[in-house]
Amino acid sequence: MVPLDLLQYVTNEKPKYYVDVYFKTFKKPNKNMKKIESEKKSTFQHFRYNEKYYYYIRTGGTSHCPYERLLVMNKKKTNKFRLYVDENIFRKPWPLDYPAINKIFRTMASENNGLLVHASGYVLNKKGLLFVGQSGAGKSTVAKLLIKKNIKNLLNDERIYIFKKKDKFYMCSTPWNGEVVVKNKKICPIHSIFFLKKNKEKFYIKKLNKLEILNRLLNQLFIDYHDKKIISCEFDTVDKMLNKLKFYDFHFKREDSIVDYLEKFISQSNLP
């Protein structure tokens, strides 16, 4: 049994989630199960049957030897997962290898008023800044420029967990990093969220309206679009984020002066 907790990653809180892992042959999903999601490359397929969700995973994301797994989640008891791992494999992998851990983490996040976002996070002058963008948008580039000031202030350059506690949004790292490997356990209130865009000539920050924010944000959130309860929680959190946080378009050039530019910007903004 593997105990898990969202904040176990960054705190010493008692875990609320458990995954029972079985190394054994398991029954594959059959035609009685309703297929509700399938990835283009068929890495995993998602089924629903008798109040249970089944994620049939056909390969290990980071493993060189592909293997099959079945992640089972009960709709009513979402704090317990069962994970069957094909026993006929050459080498025992870490059972929660991608995409199993992602699926579990996403479920836990949404049930805790949280969201996983494709972003890098940095704490500049005690203020949490989130840099959101798709692959290639510059999350790692910005992170590499900012760590020249202080590497200890980088949370993560690939995925950030955002959560709400007592009317305030916080951010912290996740087990997934990009080009910069940092194990930072800081939790920091979010000051501003920037959507990244590379610019060869200048730094430029533009305020966005709510629909523009929603449009940019949806593409970068890891949301499960299959369960009414989960998706309702996730979109309630998105709505609260839109009302509570400040979002900007951030055009940046690849220069060390990004630190000065951002310091000046946050000191001038009226946010607490």
Partner 1 sequence: MKIDNDNFIVRKIAGKDIIIPLHNKIRNVKNLFILDETSKLILDLLNKNKNESEIIKELISKHSNKYQKQIKVGVKTAIKEFKRIGIII
User: Given candidates 1, 24, 228, 267, which one binds partner 1 under the rule CB under 8 A?
Assistant: 228
Task: State the nearest-atom distance from the C-beta of 10 to partner 1, in Å.
Answer: 28
- Asked if 233 is part of the footprint of partner 1 (rule: CB under 8 A), the reply reads no
Of 21 and 231, which CB lies nearer to partner 1 in the complex structure?
231
Q: Is the CB of 208 or the CB of 259 nearer to partner 1?
A: 208
Q: Does 258 contact partner 1 by CB under 8 A?
A: no
Q: Distance between CA 180 and CA 153 in Å, rounded?
A: 12
Nearest approach, Cβ of 60 to partner 1 (angstroms)?
22
Q: Which stretch binds partner 1 (CB under 8 A): 80-88, 156-164, 213-221, 258-266?
A: 213-221
Per-residue H/E/C for 132-161: ECCCCCCHHHHHHHHCCCCHHHEEECCEEE
Residues in contact with 178: Cβ distance below 8 Å, sequence separation at least 6, in sequence order:
120, 139, 140, 143, 156, 157, 158
271 near partner 1 (CB under 8 A): no
Does 236 engage in binding with partner 1 (CB under 8 A)? yes
6/14 Cα distance (integer angstroms) = 10
Q: What is the C-alpha to C-alpha distance for residues 175 and 198, in angstroms, rounded to an integer?
A: 26
Q: Which of residues 23-52 bind partner 1 (CB under 8 A)?
A: 36-37
**Does 211 interact with partner 1 (rule: CB under 8 A)?**
yes
Residue labelled with tokens 């493993």? 63
Q: Alpha carbon of 92 to those of 61, 99, 176: distances in Å?
A: 14, 16, 21
Instruction: List residues near partner 1 by CB under 8 A.
Output: 36-37, 210-211, 213-215, 218-219, 223, 225-228, 231-232, 235-236, 238-239, 242
